[in-house]
Amino acid sequence: MKLKDIKALDAADPLRDKRDLFSIPEGVIYLDGNSLGVLPKATPDAMNDMLHRQWGQDLIRSWNSNDWINVPCRIGDKIGRLIGAAEGQVVAADSTSINVFKALSAASQLNSGRLVLLSETGNFPTDPYMMEGLATATGNRMIVELVEPSRIPDRFAPDVAVLLLTQIHYKSGEVWDMAEITHRAHEAGVLVIWDLSHSAGAIQVELDKCRVDFAVGCGYKFLNGGPGAPAYIYVAERHQSKIMPVLPGWMGHASPFSFEDSYTPGQGIKRFLCGTPGILGMCALEIGVDIFQSVDMGVIRRKSRQLGDLFISLVEENRMGFELASPRKADMRGSQVSIRHPGGYSIMQALIERGVIGDFRAPDIMRFGFTPLYTRYVDVWQAVSTLADIMNSNDWRDEKYAVQAEVT
């Protein structure tokens, strides 16, 4: 494909004006929104108001006057619209890891006669780590079992309490069929938790339609909530009243300001709150989430497929010696493409020095994330052109690029 054809794609892009909502540094091609989203232009002003007016002037009155107390549920409902969840089933709170633990413990209560916590090998580590933590908390009465992805459906059995899967794999970008896996799990009496960290804001998700039990996700990737942004948890309405949270913080109490000695769970999704919400982080997250309220996720998904297909085509056209580590079929791939090379770390550092920012996952995976709200087709063309120059010149072999940073 010629450059003029790629520019024509940008000119016809229905999302082209959304790029203006983000602060993208001059000279940077940012292909790492699957790890940390870009700063929305509206965030600094919102944070300034939060710091100087709401906190600085209104002080503690803001819990009422600025409705801080209801922020987690308000943002939760907005996220719910992106992931196919009716109101009252999502709350913004804590970190993804903490919410994984909440969901695992809740599912285990509902399936108390079963003792196996099931997931796939190669899942993002925090998920099995939290499974191990729950098993330890039960005196190892519960058992963690990780199996090859292809064997997941075959492992559904009467001893399995819950299945925990990341819908889009963090390394390969491969997408699980949520509807099919959830249905098959339920047929065997297995409850399902989906980690949506690489899904929300990137692809269409239909939690209610798929009869999902629980879901979790982060706010700092495609939702553009900023580093360490609050996460969220989804609990299907049909389950909420049956669960006694194992992390029963005061904000999840039915009447938190009664300061009672014993815990009475709050109504609905509120019982899955724990401690005092981080209002500063919530402020930034809500700005990122609000951008999606006027956007059709179907349009976002179509563009993400096209960006990924273009990247694969251009990389292979240049014959640089990379191995595709993501599904070739766009419907089976999230909003990222991963390629494999023994010198992947050094190559990525050389790219970053030239203003093309992706990231690396050991041992040899280079990830390129495509955020349709601000990634242009010409960005993909320029990124691959830079990559080809680095490979053809062998610049990446410079020893300085092999020096491992603490964060890769």
Residues serving a catalytic function are 124, 195, 220-221, 367
Return the structure tokens found at 359: 């990231």
Give the separation between CA 116 and CA 161, rounded to whole angstroms. Answer: 6
**What is the full DSSP assignment across 228-239?**
T---EEEE-HHH
Nearest to 200 by CA among 218, 226, 174: 218
**What is the full DSSP assignment across 55-119?**
ITTTGGGHHHHT-GGGHHHHHHHHHHHHTT--TTSEEE-S-HHHHHHHHHHHHHHHTTT--EEEE
Contact 308, 335 (CB under 8 A): yes
Number of Cβ atoms within 10 Å of the Cβ of 121: 10
Q: What is the largest CA-CA distance in the chain?
A: 70
Which residues make Cβ contacts (< 8 Å) with residue 208, sequence separation at least 6? 84, 85, 86, 89, 236
Give the separation between CA 350 and CA 364, rounded to whole angstroms. Answer: 15
Nearest to 276 by CA among 128, 62, 122, 9: 62
Which residues make Cβ contacts (< 8 Å) with residue 177, sequence separation at least 6? none
Q: Tell how strand 214-217 and strand 39-40 pair up.
A: unpaired
